[in-house]
Amino acid sequence: MLNGKCECEAVRYRVADEFRYAANCHCSNCRAATGSAFKPFAGIEREKLEVTDGADRLLIWGDADNNHTRCGVCGSLLYSVVRDGSYVHVALGSLADTPAVKPTEHIFVGSKAPWFEITDALPQHEEHG
């Protein structure tokens, strides 16, 4: 299992190291949600992630089955519930441990920040990979 946490450590979670895919998303929503050039994330079945601390302090933006889940104290983005609740996209920066997967592609490069240059050799996709 991998441990994850928010910046202030009010929220902690555990997730199986069994991610199905991982990517760097450059879409405008991910850039705004993270305040960064892109969001590295990895997808896994929702039931494989468990909030172990601070479940009553979550800030859930969206509905139960499609949302961004953040710490309600410090605001760190932890994960997003996607695909009608079947998967979560874990914000890789919230992991305290090292997952077996690494992002394999850049997606939504068509809406990439103009001030950021991709300098690695990973495949780039205009939209979905």
Q: How far is the CB of 37 from Zn ion (least distance, A)?
A: 12
Residues 46 and 122: their CA atoms lie apart, in Å, by 27
73 forms part of the interface with Zn ion (CB under 5 A):
yes
25 forms part of the interface with Zn ion (CB under 5 A):
yes
> Segment near Zn ion (CB under 5 A), from 29-37, 43-51, 84-92, 116-124?
29-37
82 forms part of the interface with Zn ion (CB under 5 A):
no
Return the residue of 2, 4, 6, 70 that touches Zn ion, per CB under 5 A.
6
Residues 125 and 88: their CA atoms lie apart, in Å, by 21
74 forms part of the interface with Zn ion (CB under 5 A):
yes
Query: Assign residue 62 a region: left if phi > 0, alpha if psi is -120 to 50, beta otherwise?
Result: left
- Chain-centre distance for alpha carbon 83: 14
37 forms part of the interface with Zn ion (CB under 5 A):
no
Residues 78 and 95: their CA atoms lie apart, in Å, by 8
Binding residues (CB under 5 A) for Zn ion: these are 6, 8, 10, 25, 27, 30, 71, 73-74
